[in-house]
Amino acid sequence: MIIEAMAQVAGVLVLSQIEDRKTKLVLLASVNDAKFRKPVRPGDQLRIEMKVAKRKATIAKMFGTATVDGVVVAEAEMMCVLTDRQGA
């Protein structure tokens, strides 16, 4: 679930940087070097930070961390692909 949340944040970040965001979809293409450092328990507040490492027209490479109380609990590198939304 943490990786899914990181992917959602990555998608929002990529879409926020393009003009025609209403006609695009962001798809998760790959997850690399995912590391889970500590367990996350119910009630913990998870803070997710993603950064764009490289971005081309349709591909973005992202790095991110998830923290609880300033302690890194997970980190991953992700690749996202931008595609046209069907029917837009």
Q: How many domains does the structure of the chain reveal?
A: 1
Taking the C-alpha atoms of residue 28 and residue 37, their distance in angstroms, rounded to an integer, is 22
| Residue 67's CATH number | 3.10.129.10
Taking the C-alpha atoms of residue 31 and residue 66, their distance in angstroms, rounded to an integer, is 14
Question: What pLDDT is attached to residue 21?
Answer: 84
Question: What pLDDT is attached to residue 88?
Answer: 57
**Mean pLDDT (10-residue bins), the chain, 88 residues:** 95 89 91 96 96 92 97 97 83
Question: What pLDDT is attached to residue 60?
Answer: 94
- The parent domain of residue 68 ranges over 2-84
Residue from 59, 63, 60 nearest 51 by CA:
63
Q: Find the radius of gyration of the CA atoms of the chain.
A: 14
